[in-house]
Amino acid sequence: MMQGSFIPAFGSSSSRPFGSAHFKARREALTRVLTAGFVLPDASGSWSSAALCAHPGLIPIRLSSGVLIGRTAPEWADKISRMPGITQHQTGLRLDAAHLLDFGIAMRAAHLSQGWREELLDLFSLSESAQGAASVRLERALYRPLGALTRAVHLSARLRDPVDEFDPVYILGQRSRTKRVGPGLWDGLAAGMVGAGETPAEALLREAQEEASLLAADAQNARYLGSFLISRAVSGGWMLEASYTHDLVLPAGFEPCAADHEVERFARFSAREVLDRLGTPFVYLRSVAEAALHNPNMIVHTVGAIMTIPRIEGTNGDYCMYHEAFTPSVWNLLEALDGEKMRVLERLGCEGVPYVEACKFRNSLDEQSDAKAVFFAYAAMPERAKGPLSVRSRYITEDVPQGLGLLESLGAALEVPTPVCSSLIEIASAALGCDLRAQGRTIERLGRDNIRAILDDAERGADVCPDGMR
Please state the φ and ψ torsions of residue 71, each to the nearest 5 degrees.
Answer: -140, 125
pLDDT digits (tens, 9 = 90+) for 158-177: 887 655 555 688 899 898 88
Residue 39 predicted with pLDDT over 70 = no
Label residue 49 by pLDDT band (50, 70, 90): low
Q: Please name which of 72, 391, 19 lies closest in space to residue 234, comparing C-alpha atoms.
A: 72
Name the residue type at position 117: R
> Which pLDDT score is estimated for 24?
52
What residues pair up with 224 in beta bridges, in sequence order?
246
> Which pLDDT score is estimated for 350?
86
Report all structural domains of the chain as residue ranges with CATH numbers, in order of start: 1-282 (3.90.79.10), 288-469 (1.10.1040.10)
Residue 16 predicted with pLDDT over 80 = no
> Which pLDDT score is estimated for 455?
72
Residue 306 predicted with pLDDT over 90 = yes
The set of residues, in sequence order, having a beta carbon less than 8 Å from that of 412 and lying 6+ positions away, is 418
Q: Please name which of 461, 441, 455, 458 lies closest in space to residue 345, comparing C-alpha atoms.
A: 455
Global pTM?
A: 0.62
pLDDT digits (tens, 9 = 90+) for 82-140: 999 999 988 899 999 889 999 999 999 999 998 888 899 999 888 754 445 556 889 99
Q: Please name which of 276, 270, 124, 249 lies closest in space to residue 196, comparing C-alpha atoms.
A: 124
pLDDT digits (tens, 9 = 90+) for 341-370: 999 999 988 888 899 998 888 787 787 889
DSSP 152-197: EEEEEEEESS-SSTTSPEEEEEEEPTT-SSSTT-EE-SEEEE--TT
Averaged confidence pLDDT in the chain: 82
> Which pLDDT score is estimated for 19?
40
Residue 405 predicted with pLDDT over 50 = yes
- Report the 10 Å Cβ neighbour count for 10: 11
